[in-house]
A = this chain, B = another copy of it.
Amino acid sequence: MAGRTISPNLALDQLVQERIAAGESIVHLGFGESRLPVFGPLKERLAEGADRNAYGPVVGDPATRAAVAGYFARRRLPTDAEQVIVAPGSKPLLMALQLVAGGDTLVALPSWVTYAPQARLAGKTVLGVPIPASCGGVPDPAALRETIRAARVLGHDPKILVLTSPDNPTGTYAPDDLVRELCAIAEEEDLLIVSDEIYRDILHTPGTDLLSPAEVAPRRTVVITGLSKSLALGGWRIGAARFPAGPAGERLRADVASVASEIWSTLAGPMQAVAGYAFAEPPEVRERLAADAALHGAVAAAVHRIMVDAGATCRPPTGAFYVYPDFAPLRGPLAEQGVTDGASLQRHLLEELGVAVLSGHHFGDRPEALRFRAATSMLYGATPAEQRATQQAADPLAVPHVADALTRLEQALAKLPR
């Protein structure tokens, strides 16, 4: 099994961090991390949870799970604590689902870098389906039907449909009609829906909400969430899953708990204390979430504008902290500089222009596409002090280090051939 590689998102971040530490000037948009400081009350809960050194239940203690259940209930998903499992991040939960659910896995292309490798680790065939023009995170319905049909002809057994909303890498989310159509296909084709909603609390327009597949197809949808994105806690590793009510959901949850008991035992006790507090969403947490979502929206919109000005087409971001431009309009001039695909575009941006992004092919997009993901949350600052200043500013775009990074980005992209 030689030739395994680090997940490209994490690998690029390590590389860029090393080059920045060595003195290079790089606008780092290459890593899907919310660069914001830890919210103060979360630190207090972590310290208060320090006495929790017993293993405790595999699925998480009842109080923590009740808080997560409340979180979902406030999002039109009535939930019992017995439907919840907490874990050290959403990744292990997604992996466990791949291990216990039978059949092959359908993913949108592009989609988050880890879905496909996890499915392959579990011995599954990964069936990729292009996204529609309107948004990312979900397959185009017609293409989904066609892929399922063709896969069955080839002897595959499509059984799991992974949806992401809002999504990574495009920073958009599916409209209600599209969610309903995909759920109808899942019902017709008897698919388990894995709805990754880890960015759900980062919608850019205040007061908007999205439709979860779990509202439409409650018996066949597992919802995954976590605190890594909305509360900038990637390095704390706190995730949660909501399983369907009813016998099939209970069985699936028991199977995931079994795998959990063999792979990771439980979420660390002090982190469960944090989860119990955060998922209960007291007013100060809600305020923090809303303010940060507005920040993510403002900076993503600014980067979107820069990409379009540089000649790309790009879906306007509506959630999360990404934009996913397509430089196809510049294909001719770029080819003259040897830039002919996603990989060479990523390399050109990093080596010639000092901009780190992750090429679309890492997300399963077509290798020849001139697309990449820019993680806009990386612009908030390199130090906690810078990040705090960005977070507290009335206009984040006017904060000097943010404005400076945006200017450097704009100037770098202006050097692309037109």
Query: A-side interface residues toward B, CB under 8 Å?
Result: 1-2, 4-7, 10-11, 13-14, 31, 33, 35, 37-38, 42-43, 46-47, 50-58, 88-89, 91-92, 95, 99-102, 114, 117-118, 121, 123, 232-237, 251, 254-255, 257-259, 261-271, 384
Shortest CB-to-CB span from A271 to chain B, Å, is 7
Kindly list 16 other residue pairs between chains A and B, CB separation below 8 angstroms, not including A13-B55, A53-B233: A1-B102, A2-B255, A31-B55, A33-B55, A38-B53, A43-B51, A46-B47, A46-B270, A88-B88, A89-B264, A91-B262, A99-B121, A237-B264, A237-B265, A237-B266, A237-B268
Contact between A264 and B91 (Cβ–Cβ < 8 Å)?
Answer: yes
Residues of B within 8 A of A262 (CB): 7, 91, 95, 114, 117-118, 121
Q: A91-B265, A264-B91, A268-B88 are in contact. Are A235 and B55 (CB under 8 A)?
A: yes
Residues of B within 8 A of A5 (CB): 258
Residues of B within 8 A of A47 (CB): 43, 46-47, 50
Shortest CB-to-CB span from A161 to chain B, Å, is 18
Residues of B within 8 A of A118 (CB): 262-263
Q: A5-B258, A258-B4 are in contact. Are A54 and B234 (CB under 8 A)?
A: yes
CA distance A119 to B4 in the complex (A): 19
Residues of B within 8 A of A6 (CB): 58, 254, 257-258, 261
Q: Which 3 residue pairs spanning A and B have beta carbons closest together? A: A4-B258, A7-B261, A235-B269
Contact between B51 and A33 (Cβ–Cβ < 8 Å)?
Answer: no
Nearest-CB residue, chain B, relative to A233: B53
CA distance A344 to B215 in the complex (A): 46
Residues of B within 8 A of A266 (CB): 235, 237
Residues of B within 8 A of A235 (CB): 52-56, 266, 268-269
Which of A31, A38, A47, A270 has the most chain B CB atoms closer than 10 A to its own CB? A270
Contact between B254 and A53 (Cβ–Cβ < 8 Å)?
Answer: no
What are 13 A-B contacts defined by CB distance under 8 Å? A7-B58, A31-B55, A38-B50, A38-B53, A42-B50, A43-B51, A53-B235, A89-B264, A91-B263, A99-B121, A123-B123, A235-B269, A268-B268
Contact between B55 and A10 (Cβ–Cβ < 8 Å)?
Answer: yes
